[in-house]
Structure 1
Amino acid sequence: MEAAERREWILKELSAQSAPQSASKLARQLGVSRQIVVGDVAILRAGGHPVQATPRGYVLQTPPTGSLAVASHHEAQQVLEELYTIVDCGCGVLDVTVEHPVYGELCAPLQIFSRAEADEFVQKLKDTQPLCCLTDGVHLHRLQCPTPSHEARVLKALEEKGFLQK
C-alpha cells in the first residue's frame, strides 16, 4: 500500500471508530511499523485533518456539542473522584488546561466518557503527576454535556464536592 493510500485508510478507520485507536493497533492492521503510522498521522495533521492524539490513541476531532468550560481545583489524589463525578452525571471530559508561568497555556486532550476510561487514565498517572500539580490544583476542563439538564447536574455535583474554582 502506498503512503497516500495508507493515510486515507487511517482517516477512514478513525472516522469509523468512536474509541481512540493506538498507533500500534493501526500499524498491525496496516502491516507497517508504529513509527510509520505516527509519521502518517503527523502528515495528516499538517495537512489540516483534525486527528487528535489522546492518552489512549488517535481520534478524529469532531466539534463538541454542548461544550462547557469549568474552572476546577483539587488535590492530585482527587483526580479520580473528579472524573467519576463528571462521567456519573452523563458528561465527558474533553481536555484539561493549565496556565504555566513560562509556557503559557498547556492543554491536553483527555476524551474520558466512562468510569473505565477514568480508571485507565488515573492508572497511567501512577508514574507521573497530573497537570494540575503545576498550578497548585487549579485547572480548566472542557466538558461535553449532551443536554442543558446534564450541564446543570454536573455543575451542581462539582460544586457540592468543592471542585469548582470560584
Structure 2
Amino acid sequence: MEGQDRRRELTKILEEAKDAVSGTELSKRLGVSRQVIVQDIALLRAVNKNIISTTKGYLIYKQEKQKVNRCFATRHTTDEIEDELNTIVDNGGKILDVIVMHDLYGEISVDLIIKNRKEVADFMAKVRSKRTVPLKDLTGGTHLHTVEADSEEILDQIEQALKDKNYLVSSTSFGKE
C-alpha cells in the first residue's frame, strides 16, 4: 500500500473508531511497523488533521460545536488524583488534558480525554501499574486541567465542587511553590 493510500486508510480508521486506537493495533491493521504509524501521524498532523495521542492510543478529536471549556488550576496529593478526576466527570465535565509549568522545561501538556468513571478507573490502573510519578509531582502537586462541558453552568458547578474539596488553587498562585 502506497504511503498516501495508507494515510487515507489510517484517517478512515480513526474517524470511524469510537475510542482511541493504539499504534500497535494500527500497525497490525495496516501491515506496517509502529514507527511508520508514528511518521504517518506526524504527516497527517502537518496537514491539519486533529489527531491526538492519549494514553489509550490515537484519535481524531472533534469538539462538538455547543461545548465550552475552561482551565482549572488544582493541587492535591497523589492519593487524591482519582477523586479529583471523578469530581470533574461526575459533574458533567470531560478532562481534555493535564498541564504543568516546569521551571526548566516550561509548559508540559499531555492529552487525557477522560469523560467518565470507567475511563478514570482505567487511567488510575495505569498510574498504579507504572513505576513513575504523575506529572503533577514535577510541580509540587500544582497542575492545570482543561475541562470541556455542555455549558458554562456545568463548568461553574465543577469549579465549585473542586473548590469545596480544596483542590482548586488561584491562577495567580499557579506554578509558585
For 1:48 and 1:157, the matched residues in 2 are separated by 36
Which residue in the other structure is 2:68 paired with?
A: 66
* Paired letter, 2:152: P
How far has the Cα of 1:71 moved from its partner? 0.6
Checking the alignment, whether the CA contact within 8 Å between 2:93 and 2:154 is kept in structure 1 is yes
Q: SS in structure 1 opposite 2:161? A: helix
Alignment pair present for 1:26 and 2:26: yes
How far has the Cα of 1:115 moved from its partner? 1.1
Which residue in the other structure is 1:158 paired with?
A: 162
For 1:18 and 1:72, the matched residues in 2 are separated by 30
* Paired letter, 1:26: L
Which residue in the other structure is 2:56 paired with?
A: 56
* Paired letter, 2:16: A
Q: SS in structure 2 opposite 1:20? A: coil
Which residue in the other structure is 2:46 paired with?
A: 46
**Structure 2: 5+ residue stretches without partners:** 171-177
Q: Which moved more, 1:96-105 or 1:45-54?
A: 45-54
Trace 1:63-102 onto structure 2 (pairs within 5 A): 63=63, 65-102=67-104
Which residue in the other structure is 1:147 paired with?
A: 151
TM-score scaled to structure 1, two decimals?
A: 0.93
* Paired letter, 1:46: A
Q: Which moved more, 1:20-29 or 1:89-98?
A: 20-29
TM-score scaled to structure 2, two decimals?
A: 0.87
C-alpha RMSD of the superposition = 1.5
For 2:16 and 2:149, the matched residues in 1 are separated by 22
**Structure 1: 5+ residue stretches without partners:** none
Percent identity of equivalent pairs = 36
Aligned residues: 166
How far has the Cα of 1:24 moved from its partner? 1.3
How far has the Cα of 1:47 moved from its partner? 3.1
